[in-house]
Amino acid sequence: MPKATAVWLVENTSLTFDQIAAFCGLHVLEVKGIADGDVAQGIKGLDPVSSSQLTREEIEAGEENPGRKLRLAEPKVTIPETPTRRGPRYTPVSRRHDRPNAVLWLLRNHPELKDSQIMRLVGTTKPTILQIRERTHWNSANLTPQDPVTLGLCSQTDLDAEVKKGARRVEKDRADMPDLEHAGTLLPTEETTSASEDRKVEIMQPRHKEEREESELEEQARVFAKLKELSGGDRPEEDED
């Protein structure tokens, strides 16, 4: 509850707006608006000391040094990490008809997930995932992508953990095979421009046909045609005279 914490810090401490904004994850103008009464109207302040977010000593140190950033108090109780579930998740009978919609949502929004990860999250089978991916599922026309967390098929924590694992695997594959980053990219402008100019030169400069020797009859016909043109052009002048 960042705004509720900011309201309490503005009302009960002399910390600067920058310190409160940095600690609560808000913009400085939002904190200033809270102090002016324009923002967070009707929100009751939350004491970060009672909620073990800050200590009284940390607040006093921040008030003495305006440039100091507030630090979260160390938790007194260590919460054990939830062990990662292995194998397919059990899905109640009332939720099993929603699994194809959840699989479609995961395929569209998180392509970095492997089939085994989707199987752990939703509790489905690999043939079903393949059918949904290739649109050969018997009910593919009626499937609508839905968040598996909203459907209650998995928790947000499990989904985030699988997505992070898939993202790390993709980054590792890119690091191992850097040539893949250049695959499928366009050629540089210089290469494409020079190639197009070479093709233009070939088009604008047609190949010369091989010249053959002119026969005697063709030479006589060409001479008579030339004389005929000359004589035809001189006749109008003779008629006028």
* pLDDT digits 0-9 by tens, 85-120: 555 556 566 677 889 999 999 999 999 999 999 999
Q: Does 14 or 130 have the greater pLDDT score?
A: 130
CB 104 within 8 A of CB 113: no
Tell whether the model's pLDDT for residue 192 goes beyond 60. Answer: no
Q: Where are the domains of the chain?
A: 2-64, 93-176
Distance CA 32, CA 35 (A): 5
* pLDDT digits 0-9 by tens, 220-234: 777 778 777 776 654
Q: CB neighbours of 7 closer than 8 A, spacing ≥ 6?
A: 34, 40, 43, 44, 45, 46
Q: What is the dihedral of CA 12, 18, 20, 23, to 10 degrees?
A: -160
* pLDDT digits 0-9 by tens, 42-82: 778 888 888 878 888 888 888 888 888 888 877 666 655 55
3-state secondary structure of 140: helix
Highest mean pLDDT (candidates 74-88, 127-141, 202-216): 127-141
The per-residue b/e assignment along 95-106, b for 16 or more CB within 10 angstroms, e otherwise, is eeebbbbbbbbb
